[in-house]
Structure 1
Amino acid sequence: KNLYKNPVWELVPKPKDRKLVGCKWVFRKKEGLHEQDAMRFKTRLVAKRYSQKEGVDYNEIFSPVVKHTSIRLLLAMATQHDMEIEQMDVKTAFLHGDLKETIFMAQPEGFVEYGNENLVCQLRKSLYGLKQSPRQWYKRFDYFMLKINFRRCLYDCCVYYHVFQDGMIILLLLYVDDMLIACQDKSRIQDLKKMLSKEFDMKDLGAAQKILGMEIQRDRTTGRIWISQAKYIQKVLEKFNMQEAKVVSTPLAAHFNLSGQQCPKSEEEQQVMEKVPYANVVGCLMYAMVCTRPNIAQAISVVSRYMGNPGKQHWDAVKWILCYLKGVLGYVDADYAGDLDKRRSTSGYVFTCAGGPISWRALLQPITALSTTEAEYIALAEARKEAIWLSGLVSQMGITQDCVKLKCDSQNCQNYAV
C-alpha cells in the first residue's frame, strides 16, 4: 500500500546496459511501545544493497543520527524546566526520500504486474535497503524543518530548534525515523505535530516512554526522570544463557589482568574460542554502555581490545560484566599504565546535568604517559574537548551556562593546568 501510495517506482522496459538491483520481502515481529500493546507483525520490501555498484547506483551514503548525549541532555532539560516531551514516528520514512541516481530493480516477488512481466521497476523514491536511502531521507526531512523556520544545531545536526518571540524554545531530535519533541507549551508541540503529519505519514506516540530501547519513566511531582534498559539487558542475559548467573558487585574484578599474552596461540585454542560469541556479547554490552550504563564503560574499553583474537580469560571477563549487569557528577580520572601490553593509561570522564550523567567515556590513551600526572593531564584534555562540545550544544538548546566545571582528583595535574 505504501509503495504504491508514494509512488516508489514506475515500470519501464529492461535496459540492456544495466544490471538490475534485486529485492526481497523481510518479515519481522515488533513489540508494542507499551506493555499492554500486542505484538505486531510487519513485512517490508527491501533492496539487496550488495548488488549496487558504486558510482552507478549510488555515490554519497553518509547519514547522521542524533547523539545519545543529546537525547539525555534533552531529558535533563525537560526535568529542570518542566517541559513536555512527546514522541513521534515516521511511517516508512525512507520512501519519502528522492533518488538522484537512476536505479532499475526487478519487480517484487508476488507482485509482478499481470501483462507486464517483462518490465522492470525504475525507482523514483528511495527504498529500504538501498545504500543511499538513509541519506536521502535525512536530506528530505532537513529541508522541511528549515522550510518551517527551524534551525539546525551546529553541534548535532539532528537537533532542530525554534525560538518563539516570547523566548520560549521548542526542540526536535531525530534518530532516523524516531523523534522526540520538547517544549514547555504543549499546544506548540501539537502545532508542530500537525505540520509534520501534513508533510509526512506520521504516528503520534504521545508522551515519550521508550526510545532506542531506552525506557523513560518520569515523576513530574518530584521533578525526576529515569532512563533504563532493564528489558534489553534481560534479553541479552537470556540470549547468552546467563539469566541464572550469580550476581557480582563490580564491573570488572581486580584479578582480571587482561593482556594480549592471554590470546590463543595454537590453532586448537583458536578453534575453541571461535565457537564463543565474544564479539556478539561485547557488542550487546557496548550498546547498553552507550545508552544508559556509564558504570561499565571502563570494563567494556578493556574487553573490546581483544575482539580479534579473544582468549578464555577475556571471555571470563565478559561473562563477569554480564553477571554485574544482572544485579545492578562532571568527573575525570585516569589509571597509570594499566594496559599490560603497551603500558598505556586509560582515560575516563563523566559529565552530569540535573543530577544525572549525560555524557561519559572510557578509552585507552593514544600515547604512553611517563607519569601519573601526565596520564591525568591527557585524560583532562579529552574531557575538555567534550566539555567544549557540550557547551556549544547546551547553548543552542537554550541553556545558559557560564562554564563547565571539571573535577579531577590529581592536585599536580590541576597545578599544571593553571
Structure 2
Amino acid sequence: MNYWRALGLLNYIISTIRPDIPLSITVLSQFMDSPSILNWKACLKVSRYLNHTRHLSLQYQHQDSDQIIRYSNSDWRNHQIDQGSVSGYTVSISHHLFSCNSKKQKTVFHSTMEAEYKALSDSAKETIWLINPCKEINLPLQGQPIILNEDKGTIDLALIQANHRSLKTKHMDINLHSIGENLNNKTINLHHVSSQKIDSQFSHKGSR
C-alpha cells in the first residue's frame, strides 16, 4: 500500500467512525508528494492508535430536554511545520458528543487573543446554525447554547465588547461585532472552562 492510499483510507475512517484524528491526518497530508520514512512511521502510528482503541465507543441515552454545549479552543503558532495556529472544537448535546473537528487556521495571527477570537467567532456562527436543524427534527433544546473556552481574558473582552467597542482591538472588529451581537441578542452564552477540561475533549490535539 502506498502513502497516498493509506491517507485516503484514514480520511474515510475520519468521515465515518473516527473523528478524533483529523489534525494528525492534516499534518501527514502535507507530505504526500514525497513522503519520508518518518512520515510513514507516523502514519503507521496513527493506524496502531486506531487499532488499540477500536473497542471504545460512544453511548447515547434518551433525554427529555437537550442543550447544545460547544468546547472551543485554539493553539497559537503551535503547528510544528509553519508555526500556524490550530483551532478545534467539540459539540455535545446533553453531554453526548455530536461532532468535533480540528484544523489549521488559514490566517496567521499575531497574538493568542486574535487566534482565540477567530475560533470563538467561528464557534458562535456554527453553533447558531445548529439550532435550526434541531428545531426541524423537533429536538427540544433547553436554554441557550453554551460556548466554553479556556482563555478567560478572551471571554472577558467579548463580554465587554458586547456593550462597548474598544479601539485597542480595532483589527478584530468583525469577529468582535459578531460575538457581541450574539451575546446582546442572548443567542449564545460564553463560559470559562479549565484547560484540563478542554484538553480532555481532544479538540485541538493531534494523536501522539
Query: Which range, TM-score by smaller chain?
Result: 0.5 to 0.7
CA offset at residue 367 of structure 1?
0.8
Larger Cα-atom Rg: 1
| Residue deviations 1:169-199 (CA, integer Å, cap 9, x gap) | xxxxxxxxxxxxxxxxxxxxxxxxxxxxxxx
Answer yes or no: is 1:368 the counterpart of 2:108. yes
Answer yes or no: is 1:335 the counterpart of 2:75. yes
In structure 2, the CA distance between the partners of 1:375 and 1:319, relative to structure 1 (3 Å rule), is same
Aligned residue for 1:311? Answer: 36
How many residue pairs match? The answer is 143
| Residue deviations 1:242-269 (CA, integer Å, cap 9, x gap) | xxxxxxxxxxxxxxxxxxxxxxxxxxxx
Q: Distance in 1 between matches of 2:23 and 2:132?
A: 26
Q: Spell out the pairing of 1:16-415 with structure 2 (5 A cutoff).
A: 277-328=2-53, 330-401=70-141, 402-415=143-156
In structure 2, the CA distance between the partners of 1:354 and 1:287, relative to structure 1 (3 Å rule), is farther
Q: Distance in 2 between matches of 1:376 and 1:407?
A: 12
In structure 2, the CA distance between the partners of 1:369 and 1:393, relative to structure 1 (3 Å rule), is same
In structure 2, the CA distance between the partners of 1:412 and 1:306, relative to structure 1 (3 Å rule), is farther
| Structure 1 unaligned blocks of 5 or more | 1-239, 241-276
> What amino acid is aligned across from residue 404 of structure 1 in structure 2?
P
CA offset at residue 411 of structure 1?
0.8
Answer yes or no: is 1:417 the counterpart of 2:146. no
TM-score by length of 2: 0.62
> What amino acid is aligned across from residue 411 of structure 1 in structure 2?
K
Q: Distance in 1 between matches of 2:34 and 2:120?
A: 32
CA offset at residue 306 of structure 1?
2.6
Q: Distance in 2 between matches of 1:295 and 1:387?
A: 20
Aligned residue for 1:127? Answer: none
Higher relative contact order (CA 8 A, sep 6+): 2
In terms of fraction of residues, the more helix-rich structure is: 2
CA offset at residue 304 of structure 1?
2.3
Q: Distance in 2 between matches of 1:384 and 1:279?
A: 35
CA offset at residue 281 of structure 1?
1.3
CA offset at residue 404 of structure 1?
1.7
Q: Percent identity?
A: 27
Q: Distance in 2 between matches of 1:323 and 1:383?
A: 32
Q: In the alignment, is the contact (CA less than 8 A) between 1:342 and 1:368 conserved in 2?
A: no
| Structure 2 unaligned blocks of 5 or more | 54-68, 160-208
CA offset at residue 364 of structure 1?
0.7
> What amino acid is aligned across from residue 91 of structure 2 in structure 1?
F
In terms of fraction of residues, the more strand-rich structure is: 1
Q: In the alignment, is the contact (CA less than 8 A) between 2:70 and 2:127 conserved in 1?
A: no
Counterpart secondary structure, 2:21: helix
CA offset at residue 345 of structure 1?
0.6
CA offset at residue 379 of structure 1?
1.6
Give the root-mean-square deviation of aligned CA atoms: 1.9
Q: Distance in 1 between matches of 2:75 and 2:39?
A: 20
